[in-house]
Amino acid sequence: MNNHHFFATAPMGMELLLADELRGLGADDVKDGRAGASFSADLETAYRVCLWSRLANRILLKMGTFNAESPEQLYEGISEIDWAVMMLPDASLAVDFASSRSRITHTQYGAQKVKDAIVDQFRELCGIRPSVRLDRPDIRVNVYLDKDVASVSLDLSGESLHKRGYRLEGGIAPLKENLAAAVLLRAGWPQIAKAGGGLVDPMCGSGTLLVEAAWMAADIAPGLMRDYFGFQGWKHHRPDIWESLVQEAEERRTLGLANLPIITGYDLDRRAVHAALDNIDRAGMHGLIRVEKQEAKYARPDSSDGLLVVNPPYGERLGDEASLVGLYSDLGELLRNHFQGWKASVLTGNPEMAFKLGIRARKFYKLYNGALECKLFNFDIAPERFFTPHEDESGLSEEARKSKQLMRHALSMAKKLETGPGAEMFANRLRKNLKHLGKWARQNGITCYRLYDADLPEYAVAVDVYQSDKTWLHVQEYEAPSTIDPVKAEHRLTEALSVMPQVMEIPPEQLILKIRRKQKGSAQYEKLAEAEHFHQVEEGGCHLWVNFEDYLDTGLFLDHRPTRLMIQSLAKDKHFLNLFAYTGTASVHAAIGGASSTTSVDMSNTYTDWARRNLELNGIKGYHHELIQADCLTWLDGQLDGRSNPYDLIFLDPPTFSNSKRMGSAFDIQRDHVDILRKATRLLTPDGLLIFSTNFRKFKLDMDSLEGLFVEDISAKTIPKDYERNPRIHYCWIIKKAAH
């Protein structure tokens, strides 16, 4: 059979799933697009898609395209199609017309011109004209006008394929059947069912998720109950092919029903329970799906593992947001206490409420329930994923508490659409940077980078992207000068925060705000919180732990990325010393680069332990990789007997200032840098190399006092592309012993 070209429509957010489904049904040349996917197929495959697609709304057979800049051109273009080969003269007809970015904007008028052209062609040809019938016509024509180009298709589905034929009553806020199917596919239900796992919906409403889950598990074609398709009135319809596919589907249903897992629904609303039972009976599932009138918190598993799937109220249509806090908290308690070992999927139009569950999501997806954007959160119900939503607030620093308050306010602004033109300006800059820097990062294998750094003076924040198991945004607010009204500064900050999750397409809980103030002494190293949530990131083949919440910095200085990669390239067969080692990231790079040994010195027990974890994460262990908790200045003094471990490569990145009680005296980088450089270079082998860096912006290297050393300024080479707007983020030099 010859292949035809088709477009399958579906709600936004399902395009990739739909494309995979089409390939599985035998379609060729599948390409996902906006709100659907194109494909080519023979007639049998097109029928199979109509019968078996769980996700598509309509299957459109493409008939042609033409320019239609005016109603007259539209009429002429439709008239040039030979409709007599498509339909009988006395057939009923309906026209769907949509327009985008075109001169013809009135869709009813456009549909009328299309209908007139078809009807006039038949009247002139045989004196008989088709009748118009909006409900279940013999032929449904679809015309989509985009940029004044009309695409004409025949709708083989006739009416949306989400109408399976079993739903009698929708309930208060029903899910469409294909959205329910998308939720189950994203949740991994087919694999869970195949392995014998059960399914529970504790707020089942009219039972759509229950029926769709049962039909998936029992291998029942979603179109098998339908008694109407658009191709049935088409002159090229092949009833023999269709009847063969239906017979095959009926045989598969008989076999599949024998292996149906346990599926249970609960709902407190008596009317919803009756509607669900009616729909279940209509779907041919009588006695195979259990539904109980019961509050969600009393739901219980019927098997050792499975999937709990739920579409709880959003606060948009069903009750106010305040009443949802308890509902989502109860749902989280139910999952943690009774469904350990299971998977869970929660579809919500109020994504910040997912935080109330107290379980860290494994993955999330964007889907649309009608016009409402929703998020589907997938969870593994395991103790290591549990947290108490506000357990750490009592231990937060004042800055951390203020950050959380601002985040909540920002999310409230976004939800109520209270952001102004300034927020949109910020969002546009963020999108522009994301397009430019995101492409650069992907091309260079960079997973953590600075996306925005006070590009717009009014929005004085730094925004860093971290790709871990999911995308995180680490946001730091720069302290506004005293001349700026603090109320205005806070409003701008909340505006910026309100649009970041939307632009980055992440849930709000993956955005961490730090309010950066000028730090004194060791304040920058003090804890802001006690969350202890570490995330693994990758850089140059090295795996590193970062923490977004507990400290002002994350454990990975992104501006030093080129310097670390330089160390990695220079380290082969070298003995490497890392002074003021912080979390040991440079030591990891050196070891991965083939260093013979690494020595990492830092005064902080916290950072020494962090460095140990970073080394172990990369399989770097043993006495060749030494971690020393000590004051670097005191440790250096102890190495100057001329007999201690000479190093081929040293990295020295001291703090700008420190007056820690554990140090013998206060340290000031401008005042003391000559002394520390002299001491460090004495530990170099004759051909050794020292890389010295500082982020003190007013720093001046005292070249006159470094006589006898070769010094090369490499600052420009070590400023990465994502910091080009701020090239004074640090200074860096290579220092060697002068040749004699």
> What is the secondary structure of 54-108 as a DSSP string?
SS-SEEEEEEEEEE-SSHHHHHHHHHTS-GGGTS-TT-EEEEEEEEESSS---HH
Residue 253 lies in a domain: no
Residue 486, domain CATH: 3.30.750.80
- Count of CB atoms within 10 A of residue 108's CB? 8
The one-letter amino acid at 531: A
Same domain? 321 vs 470: no
The range of the structural domain enclosing residue 587 comes to 557-737
* 485 secondary structure, DSSP code: -
pLDDT score of 660: 58
Residue 240 lies in a domain: no
Residue 316 lies in a domain: yes
Rg of the chain (C-alpha set): 32
Same domain? 322 vs 190: yes
685-708 b/e with 16+ CB inside 10 Å = b? eeebbbbbbbbbeeeebeeeebee
pLDDT band at residue 492 using 50, 70 and 90 as cut-offs: confident
> 373 to each of 98, 115, 349, 368, 369, how far by Cα in Å?
22, 34, 6, 5, 6
Q: Residues 188-193: what's their mean pLDDT?
A: 97
d(C-alpha 709, C-alpha 705), whole Å: 10
Same domain? 402 vs 358: no
More reliable by pLDDT, 602 or 414 = 602
Same domain? 374 vs 404: no
pLDDT score of 105: 87
Q: Which two tokens stand for residue 540?
A: 């140059």
pLDDT score of 663: 52
DSSP structure string for 146-188: ETTEEEEEEESSSS-TT--S--S---SSPPPHHHHHHHHHHHT
Q: Give counts: helices (H), strands (E), the chain.
A: 18, 30
pLDDT score of 352: 75
The arrangement of strands across the sheet holding 471-477 comes to 448-453, 461-467, 471-477, 511-515
More reliable by pLDDT, 453 or 168 = 453
DSSP, collapsed to helix, strand or coil, labels residue 668 as strand
pLDDT score of 391: 45
Residue 213 lies in a domain: yes
pLDDT over threshold 80, residue 2: no
Residue 706 lies in a domain: yes
d(C-alpha 188, C-alpha 191), whole Å: 6
Share of the chain above pLDDT 90, in %: 68
pLDDT score of 583: 96
- Count of CB atoms within 10 A of residue 548's CB? 25
Q: Residues 499-523: what's their mean pLDDT?
A: 73
Residue 490 lies in a domain: yes
d(C-alpha 363, C-alpha 345), whole Å: 10
Residue 569 lies in a domain: yes
Same domain? 505 vs 373: no
Q: Which of 289, 286, 285 is nearest to 264 (CA)?
A: 289
The model's pTM is 0.57
pLDDT band at residue 665 using 50, 70 and 90 as cut-offs: low
DSSP, collapsed to helix, strand or coil, labels residue 636 as helix
What contacts 384, CB < 8 A, 6 or more positions away? Answer: none
Q: Which two tokens stand for residue 533?
A: 């949530």
pLDDT over threshold 60, residue 523: no
Same domain? 460 vs 565: no
Overall domain count for the chain: 4
Domain boundary (351, 385, 419) is at 385
What are the tens digits of pLDDT across the range 636-655? 988 876 556 699 999 999 99
What are the tens digits of pLDDT across the range 543-578? 999 998 878 789 999 999 999 999 999 999 999 999
Residue 168 lies in a domain: no
Same domain? 574 vs 682: yes
pLDDT over threshold 60, residue 317: no
The pLDDT mean for the chain works out to 88
d(C-alpha 35, C-alpha 100), whole Å: 14
pLDDT score of 516: 57
pLDDT band at residue 316 using 50, 70 and 90 as cut-offs: very low
pLDDT over threshold 80, residue 344: yes
What are the tens digits of pLDDT across the range 205-242? 999 999 999 999 999 999 999 999 999 999 999 999 99
Q: Residues 700-705: what's their mean pLDDT?
A: 91
pLDDT score of 322: 56
Same domain? 400 vs 376: no
Same domain? 576 vs 601: yes
Residue 11, domain CATH: 3.30.2130.30
Q: Residues 88-107: what's their mean pLDDT?
A: 92
Q: Residues 12-38: what's their mean pLDDT?
A: 95
Residue 718, domain CATH: 3.40.50.150
Same domain? 287 vs 189: yes
* 359 secondary structure, DSSP code: B
d(C-alpha 137, C-alpha 93), whole Å: 5
Same domain? 467 vs 405: yes
pLDDT score of 521: 41
Burial of 72 (0-12, 13-18, 19+ CB in 10 A): exposed
Same domain? 335 vs 469: no
Q: Which of 418, 396, 587, 399 is nearest to 499 (CA)?
A: 418
pLDDT band at residue 173 using 50, 70 and 90 as cut-offs: low
Strands 448-453 and 372-380: unpaired
